[in-house]
Amino acid sequence: MVTWCAWYTTEVVNTPARVQSDIRTTRERLKEVSLCPIRKEATDALDAIRLRDEARRAEIMNKPGCLPCDRPAVDPTYFQTFERFEAPKRAVPDPTTLILVDEADRLHMNSLEVIRSIFDDGGIGMVLIGMPSIEKRIARFPQFYSRIGFVHEFRPLDEAQMTRLLNERWLPAGVKLPDALLAPEVIATLIRMSGGNFRLLTRLLTQVERLLKVNHSEIVSKEIVTAARDSLIIGQS
């Protein structure tokens, strides 16, 4: 079963109408993606008919003595084919099965009510992602809190998890480092400086890439990682 996830990041200033509109827009974009195969099939079929009809009209119009009034009528097959593909497009339901709400701690009470209403419509799972204080805030709204299945706290990665992650050559999206495996001392430095914080590790590796480009280097060394840490406001480690 395919899970279609809609990702929504709460704005700092949010109103119930804005939250509802943004989530609806995100779900509509997902639906557009699900319609792509039907749209492509329709485009291919309609283009083939259009090219055939244009060739036939050109052949007739190029005959000696042909007048503009002799132009052939539009073949109804084109419109029939168009309607044939419109019907299945209209029948495609909203494919969204899961909504991920990031920065959910920014939501005000009325905005939370909108989120609850969307969930109550049924057929959709929902995950709220926020700071640890979010659980206490939501607990003050019994109608909303009663719908929460479970709470999971994301803890910092331990040393073994970080080592495995780095040995498997994980990199943040858009970041590219040399293909060589990271040396053990480099991995140890990254683990010590990030403290298992996934977001901080992402920032460090992004800065490492920048420093490598600036220094025209292809070697990720302990010194490069230290320089990357020093250029970020992350405190001492």
pLDDT tens by residue, 164-207:
999 998 898 889 988 888 899 999 999 999 888 888 999 999 99
- Write out the H or E segment, with its range, that includes residue 97: strand 96-102
Is residue 152 a part of any domain in this protein?
no
Q: How far apart are CA 37 and CA 224, in angstroms?
A: 47
Instruction: Give residue 36's pLDDT.
Output: 87
Is residue 153 a part of any domain in this protein?
no
Instruction: Please report which confidence band the pLDDT of residue 237 belongs to, taking 50, 70 and 90 as the band edges.
Output: very low
Instruction: Give residue 75's pLDDT.
Output: 63
Is residue 16 domain-shared with residue 116, that is, in the same domain?
A: yes
**Count of domains observed in the chain:** 3
Instruction: Please report which confidence band the pLDDT of residue 27 belongs to, taking 50, 70 and 90 as the band edges.
Output: very high
Q: The CATH number of the domain where 172 resides is what?
A: 1.10.8
Is residue 127 a part of any domain in this protein?
yes
Is residue 71 a part of any domain in this protein?
yes
Is residue 60 domain-shared with residue 86, that is, in the same domain?
A: yes
Is residue 16 domain-shared with residue 28, that is, in the same domain?
A: yes
Q: Contact at 8 Å (CB) between 209 and 202?
A: no
Is residue 191 a part of any domain in this protein?
yes
Judge whether residue 145 has pLDDT over 90: no
Is residue 121 domain-shared with residue 207, that is, in the same domain?
A: no
Q: Contact at 8 Å (CB) between 3 and 94?
A: no
Is residue 48 domain-shared with residue 71, that is, in the same domain?
A: yes
Domain that holds residue 11: 4-34+93-145
Lowest-confidence region among 130-134, 179-183, 221-225: 130-134
Q: Calculate the CA dihedral of residues 119, 122, 126, 132 and round it to 10 degrees.
A: 40
Is residue 163 domain-shared with residue 226, that is, in the same domain?
A: yes
Is residue 163 domain-shared with residue 203, that is, in the same domain?
A: yes
How far, in whole angstroms, is CA 118 from its chain's centroid?
20
Q: Contact at 8 Å (CB) between 193 and 204?
A: yes
Strand, helix or coil at 6?
strand
Is residue 65 domain-shared with residue 106, that is, in the same domain?
A: no
Is residue 112 domain-shared with residue 203, that is, in the same domain?
A: no
Instruction: Give residue 88's pLDDT.
Output: 82
Among candidate residues 145, 168, 186, the one where a domain is terminated: 145
Is residue 154 a part of any domain in this protein?
no
Percent above pLDDT 70 for the chain = 91
Six-digit token string for 88: 């299945």
Instruction: Summarize the confidence of residues 59-81 as an average pLDDT.
Output: 69
Six-digit token string for 202: 């992402």
Among candidate residues 101, 117, 145, the one where a domain is terminated: 145
**Pairwise pLDDT comparison (1 vs 81), residue with the higher score:** 81
Strand, helix or coil at 130?
coil
Q: How far apart are CA 16 and CA 76, in angstroms?
A: 47
Q: What's the alpha-carbon Rg for the chain, to the nearest Å?
A: 28
Is residue 237 a part of any domain in this protein?
no
Is residue 83 a part of any domain in this protein?
yes
Instruction: Give residue 49's pLDDT.
Output: 81
Q: Tokens 């042909």 appear where?
A: 66
Is residue 178 domain-shared with residue 211, that is, in the same domain?
A: yes
Is residue 8 domain-shared with residue 112, that is, in the same domain?
A: yes
How far, in whole angstroms, is CA 144 from its chain's centroid?
26
pTM above 0.75, yes or no: no
Contacts of 117 (CB under 8 A, 6+ apart): none
Is residue 58 domain-shared with residue 30, that is, in the same domain?
A: no
Among candidate residues 145, 179, 210, the one where a domain is terminated: 145
Q: How far apart are CA 177 and CA 93, in angstroms?
A: 42
Instruction: Give residue 69's pLDDT.
Output: 62
